[in-house]
Amino acid sequence: MTLVEIRSIVHSDLTAVDAVIRARLKSSVTLVDRIAEHIIAGGGKRLRPLLVVLAGRACNCTGNAHVEAAAFIEFIHTATLLHDDVVDGSSMRRGRDTANEVFGNQASVLVGDFVYSRAFQMMAALGSQRVLAIMADATNVIAEGEVLQLMHAHDPETTEQRYLEVIYRKTARLFEAGAEVAAVLAESPPEVQKALADYGRHLGTAYQLVDDVLDFRSNPAERGKNLGDDLAEGKPTLPLIHALRSAGEADRALIRTAIRQGGLAQLEPIVAAIESTGGIDYASRVAQRESELALQALTALPDTPYKRGLAALAQFAVAHTT
């Protein structure tokens, strides 16, 4: 299935999510409204809300709670992006100027705080202590992940294990929380809640691994990000970590220097070193394994179009690494 076909399974839910996002981002403060509109206009795949509504429907969720959950999961993600772009000094996301580029760092950070707090207002309105607990834990883990990534930036000694811990905290944890919250709101049995949490964790890990692969092999116009952005920021991602384990001494020295200093001066020879050592293929295989684990987790669910949509989403996540 294509992403468009997957989205069509829950088209009405996604339309409702978009309406909730617009309504909940409204503020009496003009600058908040302007930045919110900039965020909404930026679009994006909105994979996290898609995951939540598919999971909710796969668990036979009724009512509107899964739509609200999809919206507040997207709000948490949006808030982290607003803050990330300031920390990283990013000027482009999804092919457009970032909010910090347009409105400045101070406004972006403060509106990120607004979006975070609005998400928790929405969670509280659902009246589920379990949902609040899941999301409070998740946002704390995400914040720790941001700090861990900062600690490992410009460090060529970062191991694969440390890298995987960072991407779990920064990315996979929110996927995990979104899928679990959907099952909780549907009042699914504990084993189904755990299965969907496992699915979300593996899907999020695969998704981030693929994103890191595409940093060295993608079309910037299609991806909305510049080639080598992670390298420019000194982030040691899995293709680089694998190349450091396998390359010759000259290439290892080149990669170490690039990670320590950041920048893109040596992008071309570094990409060649990654390719020659199989770094892209290695990271792609790890992503494929995570996708397969996500598919295995779905065996706890009955066969429905929504379960098939979740399966297709796991396959879509790793479909563009070659």
Distance CA 299, CA 153 (A): 38
Q: What percent of the chain has pLDDT over 90?
A: 81
Distance CA 78, CA 291 (A): 24
For the chain, list the domains and their CATH numbers: 3-317 (1.10.600.10)
CB atoms within 10 A of CB 252: 17
Residue 291 has pLDDT above 50, yes or no: yes
Say if residues 149 and 84 touch (Cβ distance below 8 Å).
no
Q: pTM of the predicted model, to two decimals?
A: 0.93
Q: What is the pLDDT of residue 264?
A: 85
124-179 pLDDT, tens digit each: 999 999 999 999 999 999 999 999 999 999 999 999 999 999 999 999 999 999 99
65-88 pLDDT, tens digit each: 999 999 999 999 999 989 988 888
Pure H helices in the chain? 3-9, 11-24, 30-41, 47-58, 65-88, 99-103, 105-126, 129-152, 160-167, 173-185, 190-214, 220-223, 229-232, 238-246, 249-261, 267-276, 279-297, 305-317
102-139 pLDDT, tens digit each: 899 999 999 999 999 999 999 999 999 999 999 999 99
Span 229-238, average pLDDT: 90
Residue 241 has pLDDT above 80, yes or no: yes
| The one-letter amino acid at 240 | L
pLDDT: is 238 or 62 the higher one? 238
263-286 pLDDT, tens digit each: 788 899 999 999 999 999 999 999
- Across all residues in the chain, what is the average pLDDT? 92
The three-state secondary structure class of 96 is strand
pLDDT: is 22 or 219 the higher one? 22
- Long-range contacts at 125-132 (CB < 8 A, ≥ 24 apart): 125/68, 126/65, 126/68, 126/69, 126/185, 128/184, 128/185, 130/184, 131/69, 131/181, 131/184, 131/185
